[in-house]
Chains A and B, each alone.
Chain A
Amino acid sequence: MISRTICSVVFLSLAFGGTALAQTTDPVVLANSCSTCHGPDGKGLPNNPMPPINGRAAPAMATALKGFKADQPVVTIMNRLAKGYSDAEIDAIAAYFANIK
């Protein structure tokens, strides 16, 4: 958890230069918002209708989230939430959850 935090900060710094840190935040910080509904590390909870979102192939998860952004398919809430993230943020979130088995 901790080493992952640091690594991802570094990834962003190296990828976009130090200043990018101000605009694009850490994937851990982005993903932390999801566990409120999707359970610890996105793994869901037994007998809970909120679907688990960990361990999916990153491209498939990113495609699903970008679909929600375009109101496809019709869902109760993910369409409204997905619209709050840029495509780059979605890719970072998808990569983060894909690595949680």
Chain B
Amino acid sequence: MIKTNSRRDVLKLAGAATLASLLPSGKSFAQAAGNVVVIGGGFGGGTVAKYLRKAGVNVTLIDANAGFVTCPFSNTVLGGFGEMRQVSHTFDGMRRAGVNVVTGTVTAIDSAAKRVTVQGNATPIAYDRLVLSPGIDFKFVGTAGAIAGYDEAAAEKMPHAWKAGPQTELLRRQLIAMDDGGVVVMTIPNNPYRCPPGPYERASLIAHYLKTSKPRSKIVLLDGKDTFSKQGLFQAAWTALYPGMIEWVSFSQGGNVARVDPATNTVFTDFGQHKGNVVNVIPPQRAGRVVDLIPNLATGDYCQVNPTTFESRSVPNVHVLGDACVAGAMPKSGFSANNQGKVTAVAVAALLRGQAPVAPSMINVCYSLVNPDYGISVSSVHKIGDDGTIISVPNSGGTSPAAATAEFRKMEADYARGWYASISNEIWG
């Protein structure tokens, strides 16, 4: 899996280093030749672009939108204490770093000729290596595994808000319009999906809003699984902060959603039906559809990659990271995508220089707020295991302690905000 360097490579590297250290900056020698095209200016793609520039590589970043709205911290908007502008970023920082930013949807990829076509642009963009970090797309009606009745039109009535932006604002408006005593129904898919603790953070922060503004209201969570991320910590916090407000219906208790009816705002499970004043459907997911433009890039819903380089296992010179790839023990999170982006950039720069990539080491931390002053986290440190997949280092990581002072929870809430500011600055600043 991990390429062991031959003695010759090592000597070659040693020679390179000697020469490089003799040069005033080392830069002209080490500069990697080649053009990299990155699709997606979110957590993974944005990081790759920034870090490739640090290594002196030419980068073109293509995103369908002119800026990026993060899902992380979008739940604070639903909770009534965050603003959309706080989760909205431009690509100006990318341009300042020397990234060539192209706004438009990628509509064709020729992986043999190594060219990418952007909608509305007659001339395709050539690459030496292509990096895709397109995030997720939803399984709407017509796709295997979709919820019957849930399509793009239904999402205008029953928002998913699982890609941040207008959907977040729609869900927020619905919560504001709801009368006290109303019922918010949220449907949650089975694994794998983007941000395992995200739905439970959202339930917490909606409860925070309802507790302060509409205290007789209820939240029903219809879940496609029987256990969830940071479950003990979330449930203890719900009992303490929002007693009687959040009802969690597990898969075994009939939480699995089969069908929705947007006309009546009704969700049908295997066991019965639930009508909501507000219905938030988090649909089943798959890799962003742009991966389908390259035959065999996806295996099933996601893309298999070599975890040392995030290069596709099936298509050479094409790298896939973030939510769209299969990353072993790493969850689909912005933190993971960011750290994978750094590993990908270092590997791509090395490959362009004809050097062997080094073994990766990565971290994931998912902070969640259960109210503005109460934060919890789950963490893991990752490397490549003996089986060649990404594993969590044994006896490391884990969740915040079950028993902790209010001060400890407040510190984690502050660190969550600190993390968001740091990662946003690193990618879009």
CB distance from B396 to the nearest CB of A (A): 4
Looking at the complex, which of B177-185, B251-259, B356-364 is the stretch in contact with chain A?
Answer: B356-364
Instruction: Using known A-B contacts A29-B358, A36-B335, A81-B363, determine if residue A6 contacts B20 with beta carbons closer than 8 Å.
Output: yes
Q: Evaluate contact between A2 and B20: CB separation under 8 angstroms.
A: yes
Q: Interface residues of B toward A: which range? A: 35 or more
Residues of B within 8 A of A33 (CB): 339, 342, 361-363, 381
Q: Interface residues of A toward B: which range? A: 35 or more
CB distance from A27 to the nearest CB of B (A): 10
Interface residues of A in 10-63 (CB under 8 A from B): 10, 13-14, 18-19, 21-26, 28-30, 32-40, 45, 48-50
Q: Evaluate contact between B13 and A48: CB separation under 8 angstroms.
A: no
Closest to A78 in B: B379
Instruction: Using known A-B contacts A2-B56, A36-B419, A83-B397, determine if residue A25 contacts B361 with beta carbons closer than 8 Å.
Output: yes
Interface residues of A in 62-83 (CB under 8 A from B): 76-77, 80-83
Q: Evaluate contact between B379 and A21: CB separation under 8 angstroms.
A: no
Once A and B bind, how many residue pairs between them come within 8 Å at the CB atom? Answer: 165
B400 lies within 8 A of chain A by Cβ? yes
Q: Evaluate contact between B5 and A13: CB separation under 8 angstroms.
A: yes
Residues of A within 8 A of B380 (CB): 84
Q: Evaluate contact between A50 and B415: CB separation under 8 angstroms.
A: yes
Q: Evaluate contact between B2 and A22: CB separation under 8 angstroms.
A: yes
Q: Mark B288-305, 1 if CB is under 8 A from A, else 0.
A: 000000000000000000
Other-chain contact of B396, A37, A49, A84 (Cβ < 8 Å)? A84
Closest to B347 in A: A29
Other-chain contact of B422, A19, A48, A80 (Cβ < 8 Å)? A48
Q: Evaluate contact between A83 and B396: CB separation under 8 angstroms.
A: yes
CB distance from B325 to the nearest CB of A (A): 18
Interface residues of B in 317-347 (CB under 8 A from A): 335, 338-339, 342-343, 346
Q: How far is the CA of A45 from the CA of B419 in the complex (A)?
A: 10
Q: How far is the CA of A85 from the CA of B362 in the complex (A)?
A: 11
Closest to B7 in A: A18
Residues of A within 8 A of B423 (CB): 36-37
Other-chain contact of A36, B17, B411, B426 (Cβ < 8 Å)? B426
**A interface with B by C-beta (< 8 Å):** 1-3, 5-7, 9-10, 13-14, 18-19, 21-26, 28-30, 32-40, 45, 48-50, 76-77, 80-85, 89
